[in-house]
Structure formats: structure tokens, C-alpha cells
Amino acid sequence: MSLLIKNGKIYQNGALARKNIFIKNHKIDKITSQDLKAEKTIDAKNKIVIPGLIDSHVHFREPGATHKEDFLTGSMAAAAGGITTVLDMPNTNPATTNLQRLEEKRRLAKKSIVNYGFHFGSTNDNMPEIEKAKNVASVKVYMDFTTGDLKLDKLDVLKKIFTSNKTISVHGENENILEAIELIQHAHNHLYLCHVSSKEELHYAKRHKIKNARTKSGTNSVGRVFVETCPHYLFLTAKDINKLGSFAEMKPGLKTKQDQKALWQGLYNGRIDTIATDHAPHTKEEKMQENYPYGVPGCETMLPLLLNAMNEKKITLKKIVQLCCENPAEIFRIKNKGRIKEGYDADLAIIDLNLEKEVKNDELLTKCKWSPFDGWKLKGWPAMTIVNGNIVFDNGKVNNIKAKEVAYDE
Ligand code: DOR
Ligand code: ZN
Ligand code: ZN
């Protein structure tokens, strides 16, 4: 199948250019001013084409909690949000902590209509499995409590895992972040700090980044530290819990206006490397129980929130693409993704910066059917999402075309 996207402005190398994209065999074949003949043509007039977003942090709940989400519904939500690749977390039931369970998850994920990869879980005694696990984005280490029971606290175990030859993703809060940074200094691999939510945590990571910059030229390359934050920390604060109750409770929790300000500054000054959703759906009924679980869905709203912020001159398109496309691809070394480039996979989001629409719970595609942003009027939405050259989302309509597992560079 060949596809031509024409009349749009495409985002390439930090700038917008009026070019056509010719897609063949699931890849970006040519970026050209010519009007090539294709089996199908998409008119992207008045729209912008950006690389599809790579969401490096989702919980699609398979296996074990498919009443909350599954790979089909989660990926539909992702597609509706301009996300073309997701990296799924291991705190499923059972958790993804051995090779057999990883293979089982691979089988379940075949339902996904966006591309996918997996973070591998860690336990007190699965080091041999971690070493054998092939084609995973990272090893996830839970250094604090959250959904699932993967929390690790034995220092000798942590030390071993942190020196495995894989990137380490950490769920931590406050002082766990310091501990993780301390542990990675003795290793040669990288540390990815999930969902950094406060000024203080950002400060810890910043200190290490400065140290990193100083040792960069040295021969003993230390592990680098990367920082992720999430849309809920950028657009909500603890005050929103007054109105939303448990529907605004996640781990780590929402912080103050001051923390939020520090995060926005972190986006501008490069101290934050990625924005990911931490899409963590739970049913409305579960959220209304006394002992409610933590987490909020986010795949459908991340890009509209950011485009709306762009319309309000709070962020540039360049930053959005860096944080949501280029950097995740580079940090996790995902092959052929994150940029609009000849030879790269045809994973694209066509966005309409002028489209104004309200987030509505009952229109969401996530199985949980709610969002902490319900009722928000946002200007700037994905109009079409293309995965491996297939149109999986087209102005509200989903096409159930299966996607693929990603591969990583060595
Ligand atoms: O709020 C959260 N929910 N934080 C996490 O780290 C896990 C997630 C979940 O899986 O529900
Ligand atoms: Zn977490
Ligand atoms: Zn998470």
C-alpha cells in the first residue's frame, strides 16, 4: 500500500515545511515537494504533520485487570491521542518478571493498534531473568508502594539490578530518587526517573545532571539520568483533589502550584527529558470505593493539553516533539522512530491546531471512560493518526489494524 500526505506542513529538524510525505511498505519513503501518485491520498491542508508520539509509560492492564483496560482499548485511546508507540509497565497480574510472562504479554499485545514495547519488572530474585530478557525497553524498579506488589527495598538486590546491562526505570518518590541516583553512579547504564512531580525531586535530578555534564569528557562514562514528568502534574495541582476527589489521586500525588511552576521551567531549560502519560486506568466504581486505587488515564488527553498550551504560547511545537517523540526514542533506543525522516517508520500524527473540542468522559475510548480533564475545552487536537503507514484514527473513527512490537538499537 502506498499513501501520500499532501498540502500539510510537516515538522522536520525543528522547523515546519510545506512538503508531501510519500509512504510505501509502512515506511516514510520520500519527503518531497513533488506530487507523487499513491494508492491513497490524504489532504492535510491547514494541518501539521508531526512524528507520532511515543508514550514511554502506560499501564494497559493485561494480563489480570482487563476490566480496567486491555491492549485493544488502551491502544485505541492512544491512537485517538496521536500516540503511535507505547511502552507498557510490568505491574500487571501476574507481573512481567520472567521470560514466560513476557512472552505471554507479547501474545496479548498483538491486539494493539499502536506499536508497543515492554518494561521488564524486577523482584528480589529475578536477576537471571532480567539478564536473559531480550528486546525490552528497560528494567522497572519500584522503590515505593503503588498498584501491584513489586516494591524492592533490599540494598544488595537494588545494587545488582542497577548494574545490569539495561536502562533502569524507577518508580520512586522523594528520597527514593536520591537513592536511585546514588545507585546509578556506580553503574554504566542509564537511569530513567518516572513521573517526577515536585520541585525537590527535579532539584535532585538536576544536581546529578550537572555532575554528568562535567564528567562527560572523562573516560569512565557514568550512567546518565533522564527525567520524565506527566501531563497531570503540568495541568493539575493538589487543589484539584478538592473537586475531583480520588479521580485526581495518583502516585506520586499532585503537588503545589510552586512545584508545577518548577516543572514547567524544567521543560524549558532541559531538565525534563520526556512527558509520558502514566496512563493508569481504574474503573469509576473502584475509584469511588473507600480504598480506591491510585492512577488516572491520560493517553487521549496528553497531546490536546499540550497543543492547547501551545495555542496559549506556553510551550512550542519544537518542545512538544522533543519531549514526546524524539527524546523517548533516543533514551530507549527505539529503532526508526521519533522523527519524520526518510527510511523511518511511517508513524505520524496529523494535528489541527484550530480544532476546539471539549474532553467528554462518555466519548473517551479508554475502557474506564473517565478523565480528570472531563469538561476542559481544548484548542488543538489530533485529526488523524498513522501507524506503520496505516490510518488507525481518522477524525473520531478508529480502524482496527494491528501494529507491531518495537525493536531497539544495541
Ligand atoms: O498512580 C499510579 N498508578 N502510580 C503508579 O505508579 C502505578 C499506577 C497503576 O498501575 O495504577
Ligand atoms: Zn509509578
Ligand atoms: Zn506508572
| DSSP states along 19-37 | -EEEEETTEEEEEESS---
Q: What is the SS3 assignment for 240?
A: helix
Among 253, 282, 311, CA closest to 371 = 282
Q: What is the pLDDT of residue 149?
A: 84
Q: What is the pLDDT of residue 214?
A: 66
Q: Is 246 in the pocket of ligand 1 (CB under 6 A)?
A: no
Residue 201: other Cβ atoms inside 10 A? 26
Residues 6+ apart with CB under 8 A from 156: none
Residue nearest ligand 1's atom 4 by CA: 251
Q: 115-121 and 377-387: which strand pairing?
A: unpaired
- Rounded Cα distance between 157 and 121, Å, is 13
Residue nearest ligand 1's atom 10 by CA: 147
Class (C level, CATH) for 3-49+346-397: mainly beta
Q: 83-88 and 20-24: which strand pairing?
A: unpaired
Q: 55: CA distance to ligand 2 center in Å?
A: 14
Pocket test for ligand 1, best of 147, 244, 247, 287 (most atoms within 8 A of CB): 147
* Range(s) of the chain covered by CATH 2.30.40.10: 3-49+346-397
Estimate to the nearest angstrom the gap between the alpha carbon of 72 and the chain centroid.
Answer: 17
- In this structure, which amino acid lies at residue 264? W
Chain position carrying cell 477524525: 395
Give the max Cα distance, the chain. Answer: 61
408 with 118: CB under 8 angstroms?
no
CA dihedral of residues 152, 158, 164, 166 (deg, nearest 10): 50
Chain position carrying cell 528480589: 124
pLDDT in tens, 162-217: 999 899 999 999 989 999 999 998 888 999 999 999 999 999 988 777 677 666 55
Q: What is the pLDDT of residue 220?
A: 47
What backbone phi and psi angles, to 5 degrees, belong to 373? -100, 10
- Rounded Cα distance between 380 and 302, Å, is 11
Decide which of 1.20.1250.20, 3.20.20.140, 3.20.20.80, 3.40.640.10 is the CATH code for 51-331. 3.20.20.140
Catalytic residue among 29, 70, 278, 345: 278
pLDDT tens-place values along the chain, 410 residues long: 899 999 999 999 999 999 999 999 999 999 999 989 999 999 999 999 999 999 999 999 999 999 999 999 999 999 999 999 999 999 999 999 999 999 999 999 999 999 999 999 999 999 999 999 999 999 999 998 888 888 998 899 999 999 998 999 999 999 899 999 999 988 889 999 999 999 999 999 887 776 776 665 544 456 789 999 999 999 999 999 999 999 999 999 999 999 999 999 999 999 999 999 999 999 999 999 999 999 999 999 999 999 999 999 999 999 999 999 999 999 999 999 999 999 999 999 999 999 999 999 999 999 999 999 999 999 999 999 999 999 999 999 999 999 999 999 98
* Range(s) of the chain covered by CATH 3.20.20.140: 51-331
- In this structure, which amino acid lies at residue 324? C
Q: What is the pLDDT of residue 215?
A: 63
Question: Would residue 55 show up in a list of annotated catalytic residues for this protein?
Answer: no
Distances (CA, A) of 264 to 202, 232, 306: 11, 12, 12
Q: In terms of C-beta density within 10 A (0-12 exposed, 13-18 middle, 19 or more buried), how is residue 266 classed?
A: buried
- Rounded Cα distance between 76 and 72, Å, is 6
Q: Is 59 in the pocket of ligand 1 (CB under 6 A)?
A: yes
**348-358: strand order across its sheet:** 15-18, 9-12, 48-51, 348-358, 377-387, 390-394, 397-398
Q: What is the pLDDT of residue 402?
A: 98
Q: What is the SS3 assignment for 204?
A: helix
Q: Is 146 in the pocket of ligand 1 (CB under 6 A)?
A: yes
Q: Is 91 in the pocket of ligand 1 (CB under 6 A)?
A: yes
Q: What is the pLDDT of residue 213?
A: 67
Q: Is 31 in the pocket of ligand 1 (CB under 6 A)?
A: no
Q: What is the pLDDT of residue 221?
A: 57
CA dihedral of residues 185, 189, 195, 201 (deg, nearest 10): 10
- In this structure, which amino acid lies at residue 148? G
Chain position carrying cell 503540568: 234
Q: 88: CA distance to ligand 3 center in Å?
A: 9
Question: First CA to last CA across the chain, in angstroms?
Answer: 30
